[in-house]
């Protein structure tokens, strides 16, 4: 028996155990589109942060297994205080969220009094609690435009902030944070090389990419927007400028199209695997708690975000 066959036998056994445990716990598995292929395959729903925030609120499950990074699981816990939210790997973090410590935000707010704070959902619960409204890459422009003020403080991603600034008349004060997956690993040189290799392909990129990369794109959007765009576009080949995990969903939804990833992964997203999902359900760990004083404040910013945009969730 080959190693691949043995691994598949083991994975099949784990999948069956996961299904049994889901029934026992009355659990639902939510997975971000950057997760490993095998994790996406066992999820009840996959999507971007906005999709999954909505699904977390809609589910009748008692337990939410969130296959993503910590700020996502925190968001689910904030919106669902009556449910148990577990994160299969307690070290699945986001370096972008870490670039905006809440104490730094508090001092910045003192420098810019009376200016609304828009925090990207890629932030800690404490930062959300200090914000007027949250946003995702899918609804960031709508959120900013929904505010009456002419000036906003936008954090923590400077590239997403600059992209929003290109599409609004409001003054955007950006934070000096970035996603290393998009800022450091998706470069002009890599995109241009892919374009030479695939001259007929269209280029789609995430707005967390640097402005110089965005200028090379045929379409810019969050992960949910990229999926919807590919379905609607008549092109048959795409260069994809975001985390490679999205390729699995794109291929599944568009089997007749060709996708060329730039080649970048998020180590935080890739920490979760099938075994960790199984163990999280078996041992009910790692449960995500958000203190009530933080939860109640951050929930206001998240609810305002959810009012700002409506989008589809993708059943797998």
User: What is the structure's pLDDT at 7?
Assistant: 75
Let me know if residue 250 belongs to a domain: yes
Q: Give the residue-averaged pLDDT of 79-102.
A: 96
pTM of the model: 0.92
**Pairing status of strand 45-47 against strand 314-315:** antiparallel
Let me know if residue 79 belongs to a domain: yes
Let me know if residue 227 belongs to a domain: yes
Let me know if residue 313 belongs to a domain: no
Total structural domains in the chain?
3
Is 102 found in the same domain as 85? no
With residue 297 as reference, give the H or E element that holds it: helix 292-308
Classify residue 263 as left (phi > 0), alpha (psi -120 to 50) or beta. left
Is 140 found in the same domain as 191? no
Is 67 found in the same domain as 24? yes
> Dihedral through CA 68, CA 74, CA 79, CA 82, nearest 10?
100
Is 249 found in the same domain as 197? yes
Q: Give the residue-averaged pLDDT of 261-286.
A: 97
Last residue of a domain, one of 119, 147, 178: 178
Strand order of the β-sheet with 258-261 is: 219-220, 202-205, 237-241, 258-261
For residue 55, what is the domain's CATH number? 3.40.50.10800
Q: Regarding predicted confidence, which is higher, 52 or 27? A: 27
Is 234 found in the same domain as 163? no
Let me know if residue 277 belongs to a domain: yes
Helices (H), 26-129: 37-42, 49-58, 70-79, 95-98, 102-111, 125-129
Let me know if residue 65 belongs to a domain: yes
Burial of 235 (0-12, 13-18, 19+ CB in 10 A): middle
Q: What is the mean pLDDT of the chain?
A: 93
Residue pLDDT, tens place only, 245-256: 999 999 999 999
Question: Among residues 265, 250, 272, which one has the least CA distance to residue 67?
Answer: 272
Is 41 found in the same domain as 113? no
Let me know if residue 163 belongs to a domain: yes
Contacts 24+ apart (CB under 8 A), 293-297: 293/129, 294/125, 294/126, 294/129, 295/77, 295/78, 295/81, 295/125, 297/128, 297/129, 297/130
Q: Give the residue-averaged pLDDT of 161-187.
A: 97
Is 211 found in the same domain as 162? no
User: What is the structure's pLDDT at 309?
Assistant: 65
Last residue of a domain, one of 246, 263, 280: 263
Is 164 found in the same domain as 208? no
Q: Domain of 67?
A: 3-92+270-290
Residue pLDDT, tens place only, 185-232: 999 999 999 999 999 999 999 999 999 999 999 999 999 999 999 999
Answer yes or no: are the C-beta atoms of 69 and 48 closer than 8 Å: no
3-state secondary structure (DSSP) of residue 95? helix
Residue pLDDT, tens place only, 132-159: 999 999 899 999 999 999 999 999 999 9
Let me know if residue 106 belongs to a domain: yes
User: What is the structure's pLDDT at 311?
Assistant: 45
Is 168 found in the same domain as 215? no
User: What is the structure's pLDDT at 48?
Assistant: 87
Counting residues of the chain whose pLDDT is more than 90, the rounded percentage is 88
């Amino acid at each position: 028996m080959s190693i691949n066959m043995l691994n598949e036998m083991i994975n099949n056994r784990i999948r069956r155990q996961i299904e049994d445990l889901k029934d026992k716990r009355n659990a639902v598995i939510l997975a971000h589109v950057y997760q490993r292929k095998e994790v996406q395959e066992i999820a009840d729903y996959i999507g971007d942060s906005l999709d999954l925030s909505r699904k977390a609120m809609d589910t009748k499950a008692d337990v939410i297994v969130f296959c993503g990074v910590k700020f996502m699981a925190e968001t689910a816990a904030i919106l669902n205080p009556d449910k148990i939210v577990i994160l299969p790997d307690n070290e699945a973090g986001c370096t972008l969220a870490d670039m905006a410590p809440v104490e730094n935000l508090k001092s910045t707010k003192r420098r810019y009094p009376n200016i609304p704070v828009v925090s990207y959902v890629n932030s800690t619960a404490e930062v959300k609690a200090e914000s007027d409204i949250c946003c995702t890459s899918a609804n960031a422009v709508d959120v900013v435009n929904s505010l009456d003020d002419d000036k906003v403080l936008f954090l923590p991603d400077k590239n997403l902030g600059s992209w929003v600034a290109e599409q609004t008349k409001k003054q955007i004060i950006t934070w000096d944070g970035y996603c290393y997956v998009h800022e450091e690993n998706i470069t002009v040189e890599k995109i241009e090389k892919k374009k030479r290799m695939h001259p007929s392909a269209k280029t789609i990129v995430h707005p967390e990419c640097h402005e110089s990369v965005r200028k090379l794109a045929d379409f810019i959007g969050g992960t949910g927007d990229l999926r919807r765009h590919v379905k609607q576009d008549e092109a048959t080949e795409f260069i994809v400028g975001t985390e490679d995990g999205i390729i699995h969903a794109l291929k599944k939804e568009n089997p007749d199209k060709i996708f060329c990833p730039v080649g970048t992964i998020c180590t935080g997203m890739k920490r979760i695997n099938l075994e960790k999902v199984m163990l999280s359900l078996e041992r009910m760990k790692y449960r995500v708690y958000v203190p009530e004083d933080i939860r109640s404040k951050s929930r206001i910013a998240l609810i305002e975000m959810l009012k700002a945009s409506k989008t589809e969730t993708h059943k797998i």
